[in-house]
């Protein structure tokens, strides 16, 4: 069975690109457009991995991360920040907050799947 990945992204084009790349590589994906929707889907679907934008409506990516890491059955699900925040220190700040990884936008199709495979191989 293919790993199921939750994409939390409010930008339609970014969601489409990530979803396309995941499906082309044999993964299934679910999409959420805001933090509240992400939490509801994660609780219901139990994804193998969460790709989460940081700047989201309703609940931001940090709030989604906090919720997932405190949840009794979702705390071990890897959560990767996918964001355009690329100032010096942003990557470290996200990893320090508890994200398991970091992918910068714009998404680079040639390296995108390779950057998430390591988080799925442990599961």
The structural domain count of the chain equals: 1
pLDDT band of 89, cuts 50, 70, 90: confident
Helices (runs of H) and strands (runs of E) counted in the chain: 5, 5
CATH number of the domain enclosing 28: 3.40.50.2300
pLDDT tens digits along 14-27: 999 999 999 999 99
What pLDDT score was predicted for residue 73?
96
CB burial class (10 A; 0-12, 13-18, 19+) of residue 18? buried
Query: Higher-confidence residue: 64 or 83?
Result: 64
Q: Is 54 within 8 Å of 83 (Cβ atoms)?
A: yes
pLDDT tens digits along 28-78: 999 999 999 999 999 999 999 999 999 999 899 999 999 999 999 999 999
Domain that holds residue 87: 4-121
What pLDDT score was predicted for residue 87?
66
């Amino acid at each position: 069975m293919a790993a199921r990945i939750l994409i939390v992204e409010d930008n339609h084009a970014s969601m489409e690109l990530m979803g396309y790349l995941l499906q082309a590589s044999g993964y299934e994906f679910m999409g959420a457009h805001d933090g509240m929707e992400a939490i509801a889907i994660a609780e219901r679907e139990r994804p193998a991995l969460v790709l989460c934008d940081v700047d989201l409506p309703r609940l931001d990516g940090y709030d989604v991360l906090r919720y997932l890491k405190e949840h009794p059955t979702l705390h071990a699900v890897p959560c990767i920040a996918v964001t355009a925040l690329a100032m010096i220190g942003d990557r470290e700040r996200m990893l320090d907050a508890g994200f398991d990884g970091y992918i910068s936008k714009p998404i680079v199709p040639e390296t995108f799947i390779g950057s998430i495979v390591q988080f799925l191989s442990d599961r």
